[in-house]
Amino acid sequence: MQQRRPYFTQCLTELGRLVALVVLNGIIQRRQCLIDRLRLCVAEFAGAFQRGGQGRDRHGGLFGGDIILIFAALAFGNDVIKHAAHLGAAEVMRRDFVANVSHEIRTPLTVLGGFVETLQTLPLSEHERERYLALMAQQAGRVQTLVSDLLTLSRLEGSPPPNGVGAIFMPTIMRQLEQEGRALSAVLNPLVEQLHKLVFVCCLEGEIIGTRNELFSAMSNLLSNAIRYTPPGGELHVRSLVLPDGRAEFSVQDTGPGIAPEHIPRLTERFYRVDRSRSRDTGGTGLGLAIVKHVVQRHGAEFKIESTLGKGSTFAIIFPASRVRFRPNTAPGGQRVA
């Protein structure tokens, strides 16, 4: 038995190597060839126990130690092969991501190239030149926003989890969000009668422990999305409060068109849009909710989306009680309506 150990170890090593190759090459044409080689290796491994009667105890059964080795090898191989499907899916997502980024950048660059050619070749009046330059600046800003969101996602994925040192004071954050929201509504709706009705309610006179820039970015993304997708004159409610169990909730409720149930599970995917043309018209990159999802996960929070077609949507971030901290001598929050 002791003399046969190196051979079984070699078989296990070869089996593991081939399983790894199946995983690494499971999405290319060599997959079937590698699987066939894996089957041959397993057959050779099993046949080693049947040659010459060696490796059997006095009752004719396999030695217990070798049975454990076989089961361990097969279990390892089965788990890894199952994981190959997930790796294949990840590769598909990577290709889709690259294709989406290329498309998102190519579109504004094509528009910019057309405007530059027009300015170079056609005699234009001063008014026409200003109009073309304004459109070029709009497209350049679109690329800049896209690159900024991509860098934000990359930073979120590559940086360590929040260390619990920083925090945001919710009344201050709510005031900043209010200023930002009213400014965005004014840009999107130049006419006063078309401005959104924004209601901000802060019932959390305390802090959320975490990275300030990330938390503000997530909340700002939810607010800007709601404003962009809510028709002119629509109403939005932005709330921060403490739940009965000690958790904290930040939510944005709008009176927009709503979202069909089949779209909700995919809203946090990168570049996923329910209405692509509308998203581009409103200046969205398709990355906002993906950023929110990463921030929420990094802070151990929960992201909830509720929506009814024709009535509107509610996006909420629920923070665990461990991330809620109150300052001494704080008073209840107030309400501002405009």
Assess whether 167 and 64 both reside in one domain: no
CA distances from 219 to 47, 153, 166 (A): 62, 15, 16
Please tell me which residue, 4 or 290, carries the higher pLDDT value: 290
CATH of the domain at 287: 3.30.565.10
- What is the residue range of 15's domain? 5-92
CA distance 290 to 150: 10
Q: Specify if 222 maps to a domain.
A: yes
Assess whether 53 and 129 both reside in one domain: no
- Tens of pLDDT, residue by residue over 22-34, are 444 443 444 455 4
Assess whether 189 and 329 both reside in one domain: yes
- The pLDDT of residue 217: 92
Please tell me which residue, 187 or 319, carries the higher pLDDT value: 319
- The pLDDT of residue 23: 46
Assess whether 141 and 52 both reside in one domain: no
CA distances from 320 to 71, 236, 242, 248, 323 (A): 42, 25, 10, 7, 6
Range of weakest confidence among 13-17, 121-125, 216-220:
13-17
Assess whether 171 and 222 both reside in one domain: yes
Assess whether 115 and 209 both reside in one domain: no
- The pLDDT of residue 243: 95
DSSP 62: B
Residue pair 326/201 in contact (Cβ under 8 Å)? The answer is no
Assess whether 153 and 166 both reside in one domain: no
- Looking at mean pLDDT, say which of 52-66, 76-90, 116-130, 294-308 comes out highest: 294-308
Beta carbons within 10 angstroms of residue 99's beta carbon: 11
Does the CA dihedral 230-235-238-244 come out positive or negative?
negative
**Angle CA 114–117–120, to nearest 5:** 150
| Mean pLDDT score, 257-270 | 90
Q: Specify if 97 maps to a domain.
A: no
Assess whether 197 and 311 both reside in one domain: yes
**Per-residue pLDDT for 296 more than 80?**
yes
Assess whether 291 and 189 both reside in one domain: yes
Residue percentage of the chain with pLDDT more than 90: 35
**Angle CA 190–196–202, to nearest 5:** 135
- Tens of pLDDT, residue by residue over 223-237, are 999 999 999 999 999
Q: Specify if 197 maps to a domain.
A: yes
Assess whether 79 and 185 both reside in one domain: no
Mean pLDDT of all residues in the chain? 75
Q: Specify if 263 maps to a domain.
A: yes
| Mean pLDDT score, 178-191 | 89
Q: Specify if 98 maps to a domain.
A: no
Q: Specify if 16 maps to a domain.
A: yes
CATH of the domain at 152: 1.10.287.130
Domain count, the chain: 3
| Mean pLDDT score, 73-85 | 48
Assess whether 166 and 298 both reside in one domain: yes
Helix H or strand E segment including 335: strand 335-337
| Mean pLDDT score, 95-117 | 73
Assess whether 232 and 328 both reside in one domain: yes
Query: Does this model's pTM top 0.75?
Result: no
